[in-house]
Each structure stands twice: as structure tokens, then as C-alpha cells.
Amino acid sequence: MPFIDLKFQYQELKSQIHARINAVLEHGQYIMGPEVKELEDKLANYTGAKHCITVASGTEALLISLMALNIQPGDEIITTPFTFVATAEVIVLLGAKPVFVDVEPDTGNINANLIEAAITPNTRAIMPVSLYGQPADMDEINAIAARHGNLPVIEDAAQSFGATYKGRKSCNLSTLGCTSFFPSKPLGCYGDGGAIFTNNDSLAQACKEIRVHGQSQRYVHTRVGVGGRMDTIQCAIVLAKLERFDREVKQRLDIGQRYNQLIDEVDVARIQQRLGRTSVFAQYTIVTSEREILQKRLGEAGIPTAVHYPVPLNEQPAYKHLCCPDCTPVAKDMAKKVMSLPMSADLTKDDVLSIVQALKGGGTVGEKATA
């Protein structure tokens, strides 16, 4: 069993994916070809955001968003230490300072109640992460931002494309939303890719210019930018995958629910989902003080596991000088206990059952026990 199965989806979509790639090979517009705009229109429509700007990766989406906000050296950006390194990396790349706020023990998302105390005159933005595919407390975070001089809020939605929050789509919950099409994300391409979403016309224009070297017209460089475009072929692949995406999101929700039932039955703690929002379960994650034992047990049963994330960013060598590792005790504790189980849209209910059975280490679990 793979940790994330990408082959089944490929087999299901093979003819559409090949047709889309072939169309690009035939027209030859490998950079900024028509598929780029087609994808941006479809993704904007999907999320409800006015603008979508595709970019080279999720990391680039975050970097370009901060550049569009004109983040300068010394500026402070409030974020979470319990995330993939890219979230803080882009802040440090611009010479700004990540201010790490602790997370909630049951969701792993930034604890909105702790944000206000971290705001200083240098705060320029708040960057929550929709960890494991579930949006953070976006209304509360947006309200705090509004109270403090309309600070922009950037949702790192790299793991949550397709998730909802009070009926609205992740990526369209704040000033800017950034997602990733890394192959193993809920909506992946076959290489690197990402996108920025916003309803703000001038931020959208800034992101578009920054994506191509700060160019407002050919060879007129209005601002400093990056080479941050998403390849036409990768856009074409996402377009093919979009045809099946609604179904995959539904399958992800079903698998997540199935996992929840069985995990609760064997009395193992897990990441909780809040009412009024959905997770697309980029990861299905349990919380256990017996992580090593369980990883070994599952490994012996041929079931791969992973840890997202074993070290909070404020304990990483390149970042630990930025914030004392003990300022975020919940993140520190979760990093020792979280463990992710195999998760893909095409996992079957029987797969889930056998994973939880293996986790329990014998005995019966779930429907088979009562059948």
C-alpha cells in the first residue's frame, strides 16, 4: 500500500491527461500558453475568488504574495511553527521576521486566541496555515486583522484546496490564498505548480507582474520580481484532473469520516474537524505518545506512515534564533506525537479498516466485528 496513491488516479484519467499534454505539445506555447488562462479561470470560478494567478509552486505563491504586499526587512509576519518549512522560509527570504504563535492541540492549526498578543507596531500580515487540509479560525483571524489597521491575511492553503469554511472555499477566505499543486497535494500536477487567489484587483496585478520579473509591459520592469510562472503542461495536467476533482473531494471526506469512526473506536486521539468546515485530509493524522511503536507495527504490516511535522520550525537550525523553542509548547508537544496514515481519494473502505486493525495490533474493529 503506498502512503499516497497517484497511480490509480492516473489510470482513471489517462486519456484526458494525454490529450491535454498532447494539445500543448502540438501548439507549442510551453510558457503562458492558453491552458494557463483556462486553468486560472476555472480555479477562480471553483473557489469563488475574483482572481487566480498560477505560479511555479506553493512556495512561490507565498513568496509572491508577500512581495505583492511589499513586505520589507524587519517587518513581522505572524504565523505558525507547526507547518512545512516553506511558510516561514519565504518570510525570512525577504528579510522579514516570522513571529510564531502556538497552535490548538486538537487541530494543529494556529490558535487565534493567541494572535492578538503577538501583534506589534511592526506586524504587517498574518499567515495562518490550513493544516492537513482544514482551514483555521479564519473569521476570528480576519476580525483580529481588521481591528489592527486592516492587516492582510494570507491563507497558506497548500494542503486545503477543495476544503470549505462556512460554505466558502479555502483559498477565498482572506486577503490572499496560496495553494500548491505538488503531486501529493489534494489537487496535484506532475511536477511543481501553485496558485494565488485574491479578490483585490491591485494585489492581483502586482502578483501577475512579480511572477514575470516585475514586468508590467515587455521589458519594462516596474518592480523587482521572480521567474515564477507555472508551465503550460502542468496547467494542462491540472485541467485534466479537475474533471474528477469534485468526486475526489467527496471521496476524501468519506474516507476521513470512515477513519474518524474507526480511530475513535480503537480509542486513539486524532486531529479533530470543526463544525462548519471540511477538511480535504491532505493528511489523515493521529496523535499518540506511542508513535515509534505504532510506526513500527504498521511498517511490519506493510503500511507506510509519515510524520507531519517532527520538528516545529522554531526548533529548526535555520530558524531557532527567531523565537525560543519553548514559546510554543503545544506545537512542541504535537511534533512528538503526530503520525499520518495512508490517505488518497481512491483508498477503499477496506483499506481503511485494515490500516486501523493493524494500528490496534489484532482483534476486530469496525463493521467486520459486527457482520
Ligand X SMILES: *Cc1c(COP(=O)(O)O)cnc(C)c1O
Our finding on whether 180 is near ligand X (CB under 6 A) is yes
In the shown chain, the binding pattern of residues 110 to 149 toward ligand X, with x for contact by CB under 6 A and - for none, equals -------------------x--------------------
Our finding on whether 182 is near ligand X (CB under 6 A) is yes
Residues in contact with 189: Cβ distance below 8 Å, sequence separation at least 6, in sequence order = 181, 182, 183, 234, 235, 237, 238, 241
Please state the closest distance from residue 103 (CB atom) to ligand X, in A: 13
Nearer to ligand X among residue 159 and residue 314 (C-beta): 159
Please state the closest distance from residue 365 (CB atom) to ligand X, in A: 30
The amino acid sitting at 307 is V
In the shown chain, the binding pattern of residues 73 to 92 toward ligand X, with x for contact by CB under 6 A and - for none, equals ----------xx-xx-----
Our finding on whether 186 is near ligand X (CB under 6 A) is no
Our finding on whether 285 is near ligand X (CB under 6 A) is no
| CA 238 – CA 189 distance, rounded (Å) | 5
Using CB under 6 A, pick the residue from 112, 153, 158, 262 that binds ligand X. Answer: 158
Give me the helices (H) in the chain, please.
7-27, 34-47, 58-68, 86-93, 138-147, 201-211, 232-265, 291-300, 329-337, 349-360, 367-370
Catalytic annotation present for 7: no
Single out the segment in contact with ligand X by CB under 6 A; choices: 116-124, 155-163, 227-235, 326-334. 155-163
- Give the number of other Cβ atoms within 10 Å of residue 285's Cβ: 25
- Is the CB of residue 207 less than 8 Å from the CB of residue 53? yes
Nearer to ligand X among residue 129 and residue 335 (C-beta): 129
Using CB under 6 A, pick the residue from 155, 192, 209, 315 that binds ligand X. Answer: 192
- Give the number of other Cβ atoms within 10 Å of residue 120's Cβ: 11
Using CB under 6 A, pick the residue from 9, 54, 57, 170 that binds ligand X. Answer: 57
Annotated active-site residue in 169, 185, 241, 332: 185
Our finding on whether 259 is near ligand X (CB under 6 A) is no
Please state the closest distance from residue 180 (CB atom) to ligand X, in A: 3
DSSP structure class, residue 308: S
| CA 205 – CA 100 distance, rounded (Å) | 30
Our finding on whether 156 is near ligand X (CB under 6 A) is yes
Sign of the C-alpha dihedral computed for residues 102, 273, 140 and 89 taken in this order = positive
| CA 162 – CA 208 distance, rounded (Å) | 23
Nearer to ligand X among residue 164 and residue 357 (C-beta): 164
CA distances from 87 to 68, 127, 205, 236, 259 (A): 16, 8, 22, 27, 28
Nearer to ligand X among residue 59 and residue 314 (C-beta): 59
Nearer to ligand X among residue 59 and residue 328 (C-beta): 59
Using CB under 6 A, pick the residue from 39, 51, 53, 58 that binds ligand X. Answer: 58
Our finding on whether 54 is near ligand X (CB under 6 A) is no
Bridge partners, residue 98, by sequence: 77
Please state the closest distance from residue 28 (CB atom) to ligand X, in A: 26
Residues in contact with 222: Cβ distance below 8 Å, sequence separation at least 6, in sequence order = 209, 214, 215, 216
Nearer to ligand X among residue 319 and residue 365 (C-beta): 319
Please state the closest distance from residue 185 (CB atom) to ligand X, in A: 6
Give me the helices (H) in 85-128, please.
86-93
DSSP structure class, residue 99: E
Cα-to-chain-centroid distance, residue 122: 27
Grid coordinates representing 29?
506555447
Which uninterrupted H or E stretch holds 325? none
The catalytic residue positions are: 185
* Residues forming the site for ligand X (CB under 6 A): 57-59, 83-84, 86-87, 129, 156, 158-159, 180, 182, 192, 194
